[in-house]
Amino acid sequence: MIKIGVIGYGYWGPNLVRNFAELQGGTVAAVADLDQGKLDLVRRRYPAVKTTTNFHDLLSDSSIDAIAIATPVSTHFELGMAVLRAGKHLWLEKPMAETSLQARKLVDEAQKRKLVLIVDHTFIYTGSVRKMAEVIKSGDLGRVYYYDSIRVNLGLFQRDVSVISDLAVHDFSILDYLLDEHPVAVSASGVNHFPGTPENLAYITLFYSSGTIAHANVSWLAPVKVRQILVGGSKKMITYDDLEPSEKIKVYDKGISFTDDPKQIQEMRVGYRTGDMWAPKLGTTEALRVEGEHFLDCIANGKVPDTDGRLGLRVVELIEAATSSMRGRGETVYVRAQEKAA
């Protein structure tokens, strides 16, 4: 039995505890939160779980093998380092740190100590994103022309991070998982409509050397919730609506073809293809459950998580690049070249 401690029982922490509590081969041993009221909730729901307002109690408990951190981003580095230095495997919420320097130090520390570091980029463990990756990697989609995402709703306004760090982070991790390449440049525009608060709306464009272009529109100031992604390829196209109850992913056999036939050169050289639509069957297990099982498997069998610290670091670098571009009113920011070794 792998014993897990959780630090932070605010909005997201309860989802972690609920899923970890149901894992075979793992159990929640203790929860830490600064707020006694939150700990009262833990005790009522999970009477066997120890609670404390001092996270050091989890670090010094030798029976705890792994610790998950679900506290505000500004605390991730300090808490994450403390967990690794206590010799425990680490589950870190997204984004893994405020800066890429901090993220790199966490990656190095975990590597040095041979500890598992998983970053909770939850979407990567959904049936939808896994199916999109399958279709793209099988070659069925052809060359990826574009990725276009709308991720908007009303709230939750964050006080400490911008909408890029809160919402676009999902697109950055999904893109990292879907594509074999890393962007070469970023351009972003954004605005805070309320003085003294982080940007609540942003449009981010990522450029890839292959010619693929990706765009994300993220906002906390929309009247309705929209979670839609289009991926256009040279052979097929995908739509992904995360709010659809069943057919979230649809693969369309649609596209265009250009002819080089000199006889047709004076005519319209473009042909439109409109074939079938296919809604593939998707895995329905809750993503956090899949991710929790994967975390335990990595700990037990020395595997590298699908969302390891290096993926988390690449995402933080994109947040930095997009934020820098946004503060420069959309100026192009070049991204450090990366090997995306498996």
122 makes contact with ligand NAD (CB under 6 A): yes
The single residue among 27, 75, 189, 332 that binds ligand NAD, judged by CB under 6 A, is 75
Cβ distance to ligand NAD smaller for residue 93 or 176: 93
Contact 238, 252 (CB under 8 A): yes
Query: In angstroms, what is the minimal distance from the CB of 267 to ligand NAD?
Result: 50
**String marking each residue 2-41 x if it binds ligand NAD according to CB under 6 A:** -----xxxxxxx------------------xxxx--x---
Contact call for residue 168 and ligand NAD (CB under 6 A): no
For position 94 contacting ligand NAD by CB under 6 A, the verdict is yes
* CB burial of residue 40 (10 Å; 0-12, 13-18, 19+): exposed
User: Taking CB under 6 A as the criterion, which residues in 125-154 touch ligand NAD?
Assistant: none
| Residue selected from 67, 70, 141, 311 as contacting ligand NAD according to rule CB under 6 A | 70
In angstroms, the CA 290 to CA 126 distance is: 8
Q: Which is nearer to ligand NAD, 51 or 205 (CB)?
A: 51
| Contact with ligand NAD (CB under 6 A) among 71, 100, 187, 239 | 71
Q: Which is nearer to ligand NAD, 101 or 279 (CB)?
A: 101
Q: Which spans of this chain sit near ligand NAD (rule: CB under 6 A)?
A: 7-13, 32-35, 38, 55, 70-73, 75, 93-94, 120, 122
